[in-house]
Amino acid sequence: MALKPNPPTARPPFQPALWVVCCAVLVIAIPMQLLADAGFCPAVFNPYYLHVLTIIGMNIILVASLNLLNGYLGEFALGHAGFMAVGAYTAAVLATRLLPASSALPPVIGQVFILVVTLGGAMLLSALVGYVIGRLTFKTVGDYLAIITLGFNMIIVNAIQNMDFLGGPRGFTGIPKNTNFIAVTVCALLTIVVLRNLIQSSFGRVWVSIRENTIAAELMGVNLLRTKNLAFTIAAAFAGLAGGLWAQSQQFITPRSFDYIKTTEILVMLYLGGMASLSGSILGVVAYTVLMEVLRNLLSAFAPELAEWRMLISPLILIVIMLTRQYGLMGHKEWRWLRPKRVA
């Protein structure tokens, strides 16, 4: 018998707040990109801000999907950047090798078509890789799982480094810029909505039950290996989505951008925001990225000779935040629009 703790209703109840937030974000995001494309008033809102916002969007996808594993499932996975690499390279190959004729399509439809194909491919392949790796690794738990996933991250990076048709260690150049801020925003919103619904579904409850008490969950009939691997595969697919967006926004990728240092960066943002909280994932990414960029601007405006101290000041601020808020900014808490509606 599968565990279905207190299933509320067959369909999640309609929550206006979620849709209001999503629509509001899109209403702000779309004109921003269109104005920037038209070169309108670059002094008030310049492409640099848009660039930072785009990075925030991609990082939200990465951190929220890792939260599924590290926060909700309670496992410590350290290979997220590896799946991102799979997605990035898949999207890069699809965009440059298989879709060169798509430029003949009408502008907006063509762009959407390319994005759907490249990102779909990226998600599929990284999900597949995630599934295979998950099958192999979920026989272990705890620290061992962390080390094994870290090992797979290294294997993926080194494998790409030795594939000449992917540019090898020299990196993959000449990827068209198919991604813009609108695409990233839509993908980030989709990720949040999908993850939120998953977490509130019976799947999500099973994941949380595994985190809280593995033995009890197993006793209730949960197939541990399969359930954990489902979460792992979903997380890998979203990491692949972020990678696909990344490749087509940066236009240049190199295997070493996806090594364990990138995984660590994702982890820092995750823990800053707080575990088992999608609000925390969003807030952590925004806080970290904005902190780094604000420091860059402040230093270059007021103390240009201290530019290299940025990497010393920002970890210090992070440490202070973590000492005062031990569960991260939003650990185990959720903003109202992401919270499940209580069914009486």
Cα separations in angstroms, 86 against 68, 201, 240, 324: 19, 28, 6, 37
Quick one: 223 or 314, whose CB is closer to another protein?
Answer: 314
Q: Candidates 73-81, 99-107, 213-221, 305-313: pick the segment binding another protein (CB under 8 A).
A: 305-313
Sorted by sequence, the CB contacts under 8 Å of residue 108 that are 6+ apart come out as none
With binding defined as CB under 8 A, does residue 16 bind another protein?
Answer: no
With binding defined as CB under 8 A, does residue 304 bind another protein?
Answer: yes
With binding defined as CB under 8 A, does residue 250 bind another protein?
Answer: yes
With binding defined as CB under 8 A, does residue 311 bind another protein?
Answer: yes
The residue from 252, 290, 303, 319 that contacts another protein (CB under 8 A) is 252
Place of tokens 């935040």: 321
Q: Is 172 helix (H, G, I), strand (E, B) or coil?
A: strand
Alpha-carbon distance 183 to 91, whole Å?
Answer: 14
Sorted by sequence, the CB contacts under 8 Å of residue 233 that are 6+ apart come out as 127, 130, 131, 134
Alpha-carbon distance 71 to 279, whole Å?
Answer: 12
Strand partners, 172: 253
Q: Is 5 helix (H, G, I), strand (E, B) or coil?
A: coil
With binding defined as CB under 8 A, does residue 171 bind another protein?
Answer: yes
Alpha-carbon distance 101 to 15, whole Å?
Answer: 42
Applying CB under 8 A, the site for another protein has a residue count of 38
Q: Candidates 1-9, 165-173, 178-186, 326-334: pick the segment binding another protein (CB under 8 A).
A: 165-173
We find the least distance from the C-beta atom of residue 307 to another protein, in angstroms, to be 5
With binding defined as CB under 8 A, does residue 143 bind another protein?
Answer: no
With binding defined as CB under 8 A, does residue 213 bind another protein?
Answer: no
> What residue ranges bind another protein (CB under 8 A)?
42-44, 46-48, 51-52, 55, 158, 161-162, 168-171, 173-174, 177, 246, 250-254, 256-257, 293-294, 296-297, 300-301, 304, 307-308, 310-311
